[in-house]
Amino acid sequence: MWWMMNEGGGHYCSKKSDDICGDVCGQESSRLSMSRIRCILRGIDFKTYIFVFVMIPTCIFGIYLHGQKISYFLRPLWESPPKPFHDIPHYYHENVSMETLCKLHGWGIREFPRRVYDAVLFSNEVDILTLRWQELYPYITQFVLLESNSTFTGIPKPMVFASNRDQFKFVEPRLTYGTIGGRFKKAENPFVEEALQRVALDQLLKIAGITDDDLLIMSDVDEIPSRHTINLLRWCDDIPQVLHLRLKNYLYSFEFLVDNNSWRASVHRYQTGKTRYAHYRQSDEILADAGWHCSFCFRHISEFIFKMKAYSHNDRVRFSHYLNPKRIQRVICKGADLFDMLPEEYTFKEIIGKMGPIPHSYSAVHLPSFLLENADKYKFLLPGNCIRESG
């Protein structure tokens, strides 16, 4: 004990008192606390001051800026990887008969092909929708599209497809188009609105006339199955009831190949009362090399900004400068991440391996034929054309 009360009520200094705190002894009790603080501060060296008043605030600010990165980097510690898919090898050559192709996959050949329905929720992806429908056109029985006047995040949006419907006259005889009013609940989890729109798409499919054993493609607009994949599945017998499609995963254009691991797209043999339109894992079976996923593949910078604010992961826009058009353009040409995030992987090896910008690819082989046939119009999707229009 550094000090004690003597019998007369004054202060008594212990012989063990050090020099630094010596002036505390004999002071009034009301002043003792401040004196003790000054005493403690006098005993702290300069390095400790730097640590307390510089390093700690800097660390707190760093966590504020990069906390999401830290969380993603440590993901392997708190989340296990999902169960691996069973990959089905994909065989194709234009000069090989359909009977042989079905046989190579372990399937039989049908006497006539199944009907195929392609159903999507539409936001504002006019260019990618054109590419998708042109690729699939020869084999689709009915194109089904649902559009809302609200984003998943509750932001009002124009009816973009309705305004551009003239561009899609080539599918008009086979088009079932529906609209749904938004609820505009901005504070609500965006995935709630997304789920409700997918339920409405189930109803629109019934209006389109889908029946048992028809094929139903479930995927976002930018997840495009290849033409020959759909033709294979409509002609082959005994294919899985639900089959996911492994797509080549691109970002911004076909110049930036991320990996070959996009898996959410799926094809279903429709079952009345059982098949529900969804965008999550519904099977362990996946067909390799079945198409392309081109995420954030827009012509205009304004489209990037709209999607960043509108889609279900809008919480990734943590700072307003992320939406700066000049920054977005720099990020696109660099092949970096719009949200300044680390890769969403489950092992440190995969996270470290994918850190940094995506390497540029200069291959335009095995891309949708309509894209190459109309390269001048869609050059922003091809290697070497990263500059986007400002409108």
Query: Is the residue at 338 inside a domain?
Result: no
Q: How far apart are CA 384 and CA 382, in angstroms?
A: 6
Residue 342 lies in a domain: no
Q: Both tokens of residue 311?
A: 């889609």
Q: What is the pLDDT of residue 17?
A: 47
Q: Are 222 and 294 in contact (CB under 8 A)?
A: yes
Q: Which residue type sits at 249?
A: N
The pLDDT value recorded for residue 239 is 98
Q: Is residue 385 part of a domain?
A: no
Query: Number of C-alpha atoms within 13 angstroms, CB side, residue 69?
Result: 13
On whether residue 15 sits in a domain, the answer given is: no
More confident residue, 275 or 18: 275
Residue written as tokens 């392309």?
Answer: 292
Q: What is the CA radius of gyration of the chain?
A: 31
What whole-number distance in Å separates Cα of residue 223 and Cα of residue 226?
Answer: 10
Cα separation, 172 vs 239, in Å, equals: 30
Q: Is the pLDDT of residue 383 over 70?
A: yes
The better pLDDT of the pair 308, 267 is held by 267
- From 104, 136, 97, 106, select the one nearest 120 (Cα to Cα): 136
Residue 18 has pLDDT above 50, yes or no: no
C-beta separation of 304 from 296 below 8 A:
yes
Residue type, 188: E
The pair of three-digit structure tokens given for residue 389, joined into one six-digit string: 């229009």
Mean pLDDT taken over the chain: 87
Look at the chain and count its residues: 391
Domain count, the chain: 1
Q: Tell how far CA 115 is from the center of its chain.
A: 31
Per-residue pLDDT tens for 314-371? 677 888 899 999 999 999 999 999 998 888 887 988 889 888 999 999 999 999 999 9
**123 strand-pairing partners:** none
Question: Looking at residue 244, which CATH number applies to its domain?
Answer: 3.90.550
Percent over 70 (pLDDT), the chain: 81
pLDDT given for residue 185 in this prediction:
80
For the cut 60, the answer to whether the pLDDT of residue 118 exceeds it is yes
Is 388:380 a contact under the CB 8 Å cutoff?
yes
On whether residue 214 sits in a domain, the answer given is yes
Comparison of pLDDT for 78 and 194, the residue scoring more: 194
Please check whether residue 72 is in contact with residue 343, taking contact to mean a CB–CB distance below 8 angstroms.
yes
Domain hosting 261: range is 86-300
Q: Tell me if 54 is assigned to some domain.
A: no
Question: Can you give the pTM of this predicted structure?
Answer: 0.82
- pLDDT given at position 20: 46
* Range 192-200, long-range pairs (CB < 8 A, 24+ positions): 193/150, 193/151, 193/152, 193/153, 193/154, 194/121, 194/152, 194/312, 197/121, 197/146, 197/148, 197/152, 198/121, 198/276, 198/277, 198/278, 198/279, 199/277, 200/146
Q: What is the pLDDT of residue 127?
A: 98
- Confidence at 78, pLDDT banded by 50, 70, 90: confident
What the block records as the tokens of 145 is 């599209």
Distance, in Å, from the CA atom of 12 to the CA atom of 278, rounded to the nearest integer, reads: 79
Contact in structure between 336 and 327 (CB atoms under 8 Å): no
Q: Percentage of the chain surpassing pLDDT 90? A: 65
* Residue 150 parent element (H or E): none
Average pLDDT over residues 44-55: 65
The pLDDT value recorded for residue 134 is 98
100 located within any domain? yes
| CA pair distance 123, 258, nearest whole angstrom | 24
Which amino acid is present at 247? L
Residue type, 70: I
More confident residue, 76 or 382: 382
Torsion from C-alpha of 267, 141, 372, 307, nearest 10 degrees:
-60
Structure confidence at residue 32 (pLDDT): 56
Residues 210-261 pLDDT 10s: 999 999 999 999 999 999 999 999 999 999 999 999 999 999 999 999 999 9
Residue 358 domain-assigned? no
User: What pLDDT is stored for residue 72 in this prediction?
Assistant: 67
Instruction: Report the pLDDT value the prediction gives residue 191, as an integer from 0 to 100.
Output: 83
Per-residue confidence at 73, pLDDT binned at 50, 70, 90?
confident
How wide is the angle at C-alpha 269 spanned by C-alphas 263 and 273, nearest 5°? 110
Query: What is the helix, strand, coil percentage profile of the chain, to 5?
Result: 40, 20, 40
Centre a 10 Å sphere on the Cβ of residue 127 and count the other Cβ atoms it contains. 21
Cα separation of 261 and 258, whole Å? 9
- pLDDT at residue 317, rounded to an integer: 82
